[in-house]
Amino acid sequence: MQAPEIVKLPPPFKPAWWLRNCHLQTIAAKYLAPRRTLHTETEMLALPDGDHIQLNWTESPELVADKPVVIVLHGLEGNIHSHYAAGMLYALKQQGFLAVLMHFRGCNGVANRLPRAYHSGDTADLAYLVAQIQLRYPGRELAAVGFSLGGNVLVKYCGEQGTRCVLKAAIAVSAPLALAPSAERINQGGSKVYQQYLLGRLKATMMRKLDRHKDFPLPVSKVQINALKTIRDFDDLLTAPLHGFQNAEDYYQKSSGKAFLKQVKVPLLLVHAKDDPFLSPAVLPKADEIPPNVQLLLSSHGGHVGFVTGNKPLKAEYYLEQQLPKYLAQFLGQH
């Protein structure tokens, strides 16, 4: 199906009147998420370097040969149990798509086979998954939705692929498209609470890795890891050298999705809230940095991957789940 000549953007986001604060939006989204029954098919996908990643399919791909495939990418230390990932899988299935969550390496609760992990610019595994889907299920229409870190990975992937990108459309939600300023932002004020939560998860993942790999390639100890105070420190000590970067600054510069925007040739929707407590305003591209097929859906409120709406307190409605599958249907033939 050809992309529609006039792309209809989702309607503006209106926060729940009882959840206008950015921190309430961010936190409530997790705790008020409806507990839906979502059965998925788990697959361990072998990678070319001997490692593997976990996929969770909403249905067995072989049994639904006519459905477009939407790849979902989670955020930093997310997984199938993350409310936004599970909610989006459910919503995409309800829209008539076959959805698959791609776990980044080591994010399924088990240390991955290699010492390396994953990072905000790590597009190789996504590229391999896309190629495998094309190989196994030729002719399937493809799209993708990325949240936070996964959104940055998706934007960078689309830019790297350029005119070769096979996705019919892509959506990046609350993506840290400028990594260095965002690392500074999350180390300020009330946002430090989120930093400590994420840093704790990153440390736990790295501890599992040290236990598994007795020949770990970096001269670091559990004591050093435990002493880290910021995500930037973690990236400087571990993320950067593990993945071939000189330091955190080099990693941030080479991995920020904003630098790849102008090369994006497929329809790409950026969904962002001005009051995002995780991200610096620097993540927002300027008008001259946005090519014609990239659209920015910017709201005043919404927090970080929050976007909770609805009129009844404690009965949340999720704007992203309501609107993003319908947006993708314009490109994937599900009207």
- What are 209-240's pLDDT values in tens digits? 999 998 899 999 999 999 999 999 999 999 99
- What are 23-61's pLDDT values in tens digits? 999 998 988 887 788 999 999 999 999 999 999 999 999
Q: Residue 4: which pLDDT band, with cuts at 50, 70 and 90?
A: low
Confidence at residue 316, expressed as pLDDT on a 0 to 100 scale: 86
Percentage above 70 pLDDT, the chain? 98
Confidence at residue 33, expressed as pLDDT on a 0 to 100 scale: 82
Name the least confident of 23-32, 155-164, 261-270.
23-32
The amino acid present at 219, given as its one-letter code, is P
Confidence at residue 2, expressed as pLDDT on a 0 to 100 scale: 52
* Strand boundaries in 184-334, DSSP class E: 268-273, 294-299, 308-309, 317-318
pTM: 0.96
Confidence at residue 134, expressed as pLDDT on a 0 to 100 scale: 96
Confidence at residue 121, expressed as pLDDT on a 0 to 100 scale: 98
Mean pLDDT, rounded, for 114-123: 96
Residue 334 has pLDDT above 60, yes or no: no
Q: Residue 247: which pLDDT band, with cuts at 50, 70 and 90?
A: very high
- Among residues 282, 228, 274, 224, which one has the least CA distance to residue 252? 282
Residue 318 has pLDDT above 50, yes or no: yes
Calculate the average pLDDT of the chain: 94
| Residues acting as catalytic residues | 148, 276, 304
* Parallel/antiparallel/unpaired status of strands 52-57 and 98-102: antiparallel
Mean pLDDT, rounded, for 324-329: 98
Residue 335 has pLDDT above 70, yes or no: no
Residue 65 has pLDDT above 90, yes or no: no
The amino acid present at 321, given as its one-letter code, is E
* Strand boundaries in the chain, DSSP class E: 41-46, 52-57, 69-73, 98-102, 142-147, 169-173, 268-273, 294-299, 308-309, 317-318
Residue 313 has pLDDT above 60, yes or no: yes
Written as six digits, the tokens of 304 are 């970080």
